Amino acid sequence: MKILVTGGAGFIGSHTVIELLGAGYEPVILDNFSNSNRSVLAGLRQILGHDVPFYEADCNDPEALNAIFEKENFGGAIHFAAHKAVGESVAKPLMYYRNNLDSTLLLLETMQQHGVPNLVFSSSCTVYGQPEHLPVTEDTPRLPAQSPYGNTKAICEDIIRDAVYAKAPIKSIALRYFNPIGAHPSGLIGELPLGVPGNLVPFITQTAAGLREKLTVFGNDYNTPDGTCVRDFIHVVDLAKAHVQALRLLDSREETSYYDIFNVGTGHGNTVLEVIKTFEEVNQLKLNYSIGPRRPGDVEKIYAQVDKVNNVMGWRAEKTLAESLQDAWRWEQNLQKQKTSVSE
């Protein structure tokens, strides 16, 4: 079965492409490189031993999207393509609403026009806002999002849900990710932020590599064990495998309209300082970091209750925080070696 992977050259998308192939699916990548790099395609080729079918296009371009659907006989789609930085979304809300909502609407419309039934949507734990009780379950009320990015994910979930409830011939699962980190164990693909990283771990690895002078921890006065924010950090390879399980679940459903949501995390949280100290320990180095003021849009603490995804989808996180941080550092080191060899 061919699966369209929008944003397939991105961090989570590229790792999911590998897991899809390993599970017998035929992924087709669509990406406009607005938040990714062409070098990812070369990394995939090195890992897989062959190229992955690829289209350079924008999910907001109806003619391009329709042409791809006309050419390929898709059995489903995984929708990763979206702007995704919390801080940037606070500064540029209209850009986030325009891109993230329109691309989802257009993809749904195009899938219906071409009779493509299965959609896995890349959602986020940001839809919970700052929850009143932890861990969060799929039944935890969605609170007002702390950022426009989080709000776009909540609205997109509602769009998909409403389409399904209106008896559109769509079966869809929204995966609410917690905090993806790590890289492929080969060190050939990983998180590749453009410009200054908006996420913790790539900022850690770039600081360790000397690309950043110092890492700033945003606040140490939260109500947490050491005063820094708590997150549920999940290895990107584990997360990629959850998409395969989601597609299998959709394939198994006999009804033509179906919608469900699943938390995808490890089930426990770590503070920012715990991540920094674990990185230093497993990679045997010291980071230059300091404490700064809180960052607008940040949630104090959140981690997942994962019984539903464990029991219904048969998926569970397998990799540890230490493995994630080792893989992330291996990827960063390999990336710097590549840059050095190109410049010589």
Cis bond before residue 135 (omega within 30° of 0): yes
| Contact assessment for residue 295 and residue 217, using Cβ atoms and an 8 Å cutoff | no
Catalytic-labelled residue, pool 55, 128, 149, 222: 149
For 74, phi and psi rounded to 5 degrees? -75, 145
Decide if 303 is catalytic.
Answer: no
Q: What residues are annotated to the active site?
A: 149
